[in-house]
Chains A and B, each alone.
Chain A
Amino acid sequence: MIDSARRNLTVAALVLALLVAAPAAAAAQRTFVSATGNDASACSLGAPCRSFLAALSHTSSDGEIVVLDSGGYGSVTITQGVTITAPEGIYAGISVFAGDNGVTINAPGAVVVLQGLTINGQGGSNGIYFVQGTELRVARCNISAMTDSGVVAQLGGGSILHVTDTVSSRNANAGIRASGAGRISLANVHIASNGGFGFLVQDGPDVAMRDAVIEQNNWGIGAFANTADTLLDLRNSRIFSNNKHGIWAQTTGAGTNVVSLNVTDSEIARNNQSASTPSGGIFAQANLATSIRVTIVRTQLIYNRGAGAYVELKFPSPGAEATAYVRQSLLHGNTVYGLTTVGLATIYTTGDSTIEDNAGGDLNGNILAYPGPS
């Protein structure tokens, strides 16, 4: 009886020990990497790993990987909820070689957070590649020199991309590009010197962008809607010195899709130095049955080659529109028109903007006084 009880206790203790030990060995909620780590380690604080890839395999779902000191930690594919964080003061690099992506997120239903990473292309395709997941948050990252794009997001089912305090530059394609039914929040991002679009959004996303600087890319922003509506709200941002259009918004296709573009308290300057005129700072064109609706409030559209804002309605079907509303803005020193329409497009002004010194004329085409309530 006593022996039996003792044996049972021993078994219970063993089971308990296993229960306690198992999670620690197999997957911890917080793992660590270090430049002096070893991937054969447990990725614990006392015995950190050397790579993100090894650490991830030791990290439980929705756990954290913490970078302990400066070093390179290799590319990684994430298939679970996780946070990878390099605290301020630590450089956590990922060099991305040909055929690879820096961080791939293929984690249906999961939330992934990336903080403080420096992702540098050495022939690699994309810096951060969001294939699937509920939400991706990118903060304090620095992504450059990829052969495709800095950040690519394939949204769907309302998934979310947040990018804050991040730089994406000198990628051959886009700084950030996204498509599909989802939501995008960008704040304090610097997107510069990319070979294609600074920021490209198409077919589905709702975008809230504020305090963004998008400069010296080939195009600044592209907003397209061929198969689903795209909504872009831009506040307190700067679109500067891009080779072609500062913002290129265009709709076409068989449906009645819409691009809605709202620009507030922003500056769109010196774009389009190497493309045809009069397209210029903002180039908005709706085709067939599709529509584009633009509002420009307290915004400077200045020194663009071509027009400050160009709005065109092309081959329209009934119900299609290309309309812009301009209020309390500055259109100054553009080389061909301040505001211009082409086709059946309309621009409404509220009579309280400064539109001066634009070569070729300040207003051209179908510019009307805003009839609605102010």
Chain B
Amino acid sequence: MQTVSPASARATRRPLRTRAGVPFWTAIGALIAIHSIGDAQATAQRTFVASNGNDANPCSVAAPCRSFAASIAQTNDKGEIVVLDSAGYGNVTITKSVTIVSPPGIYAGISVFTGNDGITVNAPSGVIVLRGLKINGQGGNVGINFVQGAELRIERCDIAAMRQFAINASLAAGASIYIRDTTISGSGTPVGSGIFLTGGGRVSLERVAITGSPSVGITILDGPDAALRHVAVERNDIGILLQSGFGSTSVSIDESRIFANRSDGIRMLTGGSGVLRAAISDSEIVTNNQGALAPGGGIVVQGTSAGTGVAQVTLMRTRSSYNVGAGLLAQYAGVAIHVDRCVVVENTGYGLAAATGATVYTRGTSTIENNIGGNLNGVSSYAGK
């Protein structure tokens, strides 16, 4: 018999516990049917899909459904959909809080055909969790389209070959998107971006790889505060584009690699009323701008020729090397960049360049050598504190 703990004594929902005085097997025997049925009906809080499921089923573990779309109709608000085995489960539009989870070792695919999006989240105040899904574009537009919701969490997903965006999020103030342990590849054709984020919310990326986008790897436009860590951005056109026109954006990029992009590794553009703040730390920005865009390079920060843009950027313990063009190029008044403990070597242009009114500060702690166009151009100094 179980010891009756304070917690189980309080519990009245589970019949097994309230019959503590009844011999164990009697209790189990008498209640097993109730227990099972209870699970099957309460199930609306947890439903199941399987390759041999049927959408006419109740989506229980014993009688799973075949598609996410059918399963979500049988799932409570704040419930869960669990994938039982490997198969494709189809597009779905989510209008309530739900978790869709495919455990590691199970392939849960969504093929997205022309004119469609893979997962559309349109759930005002909803909290949506997507775990372990593979979304593959077959002419489809957007892999995961976050139209509305309080929070979207994307974990262990792989999204490939979408025409516009692998992930598109327009965030209301206070809304959040988390993307973790996820890969994005070959998305953003013919225009668009692997990940496109805009609006007033908060963004967190951790252990995300964005590769092979013919346009931009990650775009953050007008507003979102974003934290990127352990992010790999490789072989896109532009690696990361941060743009502040009307909304202020603050972005931190930590322990990340921006590698072998065809244009700038990181391009920051500011102008208008928004302030662009970015902190890049412990990262590598290497062999970018292979398409030899000019002016271009590893990191390019541009205001406007009228001096209306404000950008405050820091580079800490970061390498910007082997880029075509400058390691770091800052342009126009209003742009100020502090560089501390960095390595900037073997770029084909300048190592660090401040042009047309921008300011780049160093304080003698960085290694800036062997840049073919010259190590420093127009660079100022500052004191540590």
Residues of A within 8 A of B (CB): 35-36, 38-40, 50-51, 53-54, 56-57, 69-72, 74-75, 77, 79, 88-91, 93, 95, 97-101, 104, 106, 118, 120, 122, 129, 131, 144-145, 169-170, 190, 192-193, 213, 215-216, 238, 240-241, 267, 269-270, 298, 300, 302-303, 328, 330, 332-333, 338, 349, 351-357, 362-363
Contacts of A100 in B (CB 8 A): 7, 10-11, 13-14
Say if the beta carbon of B115 comes within 8 Å of chain A. no
Across the interface, do A104 and B385 meet the contact criterion of CB distance under 8 Å?
Answer: no
User: Pick the contact of A72 from B25, B39, B384 — CB < 8 Å?
Assistant: B39
Contacts of B252 in A (CB 8 A): 267, 269, 300, 302-303
User: Pick the contact of A50 from B35, B46, B206, B277 — CB < 8 Å?
Assistant: B35
Across the interface, do B385 and A75 meet the contact criterion of CB distance under 8 Å?
Answer: no
A-contacting residues, B1-45, CB 8 Å: 1-3, 5, 7-8, 10-14, 16-17, 24-25, 28-29, 32, 35-36, 39, 42, 45
User: Residue-by-residue, is B164-182 near A (CB-CB < 8 Å gives 1, otherwise 0)?
Assistant: 0000000000001010100
User: Pick the contact of B385 from A39, A193, A355 — CB < 8 Å?
Assistant: A355
Q: A74-B14, A93-B80, A238-B227 are in contact. Are A39 and B35 (CB under 8 A)?
A: yes
Known: A77-B2, A95-B46, A303-B252. 20 other contacts (CB 8 A): A35-B61, A53-B17, A72-B39, A75-B14, A77-B3, A101-B7, A106-B3, A193-B127, A216-B176, A238-B227, A270-B225, A300-B281, A302-B277, A302-B314, A332-B314, A351-B385, A354-B338, A354-B385, A357-B312, A357-B336
Contacts of A354 in B (CB 8 A): 314, 316, 338, 340, 363, 382, 384-385
Look across to chain B and name the residue whose beta carbon is closest to the beta carbon of A329. B316
Contacts of B374 in A (CB 8 A): none
The 7 A-B pairs with the shortest beta carbon distances in the complex, nearest first, are: A89-B105, A355-B385, A104-B7, A303-B250, A88-B104, A35-B61, A352-B384
Look across to chain B and name the residue whose beta carbon is closest to the beta carbon of A116. B103
CA distance A217 to B46 in the complex (A): 26
Number of A-B contacts (CB under 8 A): 196
Say if the beta carbon of B306 comes within 8 Å of chain A. no
Across the interface, do A40 and B32 meet the contact criterion of CB distance under 8 Å?
Answer: yes
Most buried by B among A69, A192, A238, A332: A332
Look across to chain A and name the residue whose beta carbon is closest to the beta carbon of B314. A332
Most buried by A among B1, B11, B84, B317: B11
Q: A213-B206, A300-B252, A351-B384 are in contact. Are A118 and B101 (CB under 8 A)?
A: yes
Contacts of B104 in A (CB 8 A): 88-89
Contacts of A106 in B (CB 8 A): 3, 5, 7
Interchain residue pairs with CB less than 8 A apart (17): A40-B25, A69-B84, A72-B46, A77-B2, A88-B104, A89-B105, A100-B14, A118-B101, A120-B80, A267-B252, A270-B250, A300-B252, A328-B341, A332-B312, A351-B385, A353-B385, A357-B338
Across the interface, do B2 and A56 meet the contact criterion of CB distance under 8 Å?
Answer: yes
User: Pick the contact of A193 from B46, B151, B229 — CB < 8 Å?
Assistant: B151
User: Pick the contact of B127 from A170, A302, A332, A356 — CB < 8 Å?
Assistant: A170
Across the interface, do B106 and A330 meet the contact criterion of CB distance under 8 Å?
Answer: no
Contacts of A332 in B (CB 8 A): 277, 279, 312, 314, 338
CA distance A240 to B229 in the complex (A): 12
CA distance A269 to B178 in the complex (A): 16
Q: A51-B35, A353-B384, A354-B340 are in contact. Are A39 and B28 (CB under 8 A)?
A: yes
Across the interface, do B281 and A241 meet the contact criterion of CB distance under 8 Å?
Answer: no
Say if the beta carbon of B48 comes within 8 Å of chain A. yes
Q: A100-B11, A332-B314 are in contact. Are A40 and B29 (CB under 8 A)?
A: yes
Q: A89-B103, A357-B336 are in contact. Are A71 and B61 (CB under 8 A)?
A: yes
Contacts of A120 in B (CB 8 A): 45-46, 80, 99
Look across to chain B and name the residue whose beta carbon is closest to the beta carbon of A170. B127
Contacts of B361 in A (CB 8 A): 356
CA distance A74 to B42 in the complex (A): 12
Across the interface, do A238 and B5 meet the contact criterion of CB distance under 8 Å?
Answer: no
Q: How many whole Å from B344's CB to the nearest CB in chain A? A: 16
Across the interface, do A99 and B10 meet the contact criterion of CB distance under 8 Å?
Answer: yes
CA distance A131 to B5 in the complex (A): 10
User: Pick the contact of A70 from B48, B279, B365 — CB < 8 Å?
Assistant: B48
Look across to chain A and name the residue whose beta carbon is closest to the beta carbon of B1. A57
Say if the beta carbon of B262 comes within 8 Å of chain A. no
User: Pick the contact of B78 from A69, A145, A169 — CB < 8 Å?
Assistant: A145
Across the interface, do A122 and B312 meet the contact criterion of CB distance under 8 Å?
Answer: no
Contacts of B36 in A (CB 8 A): 50
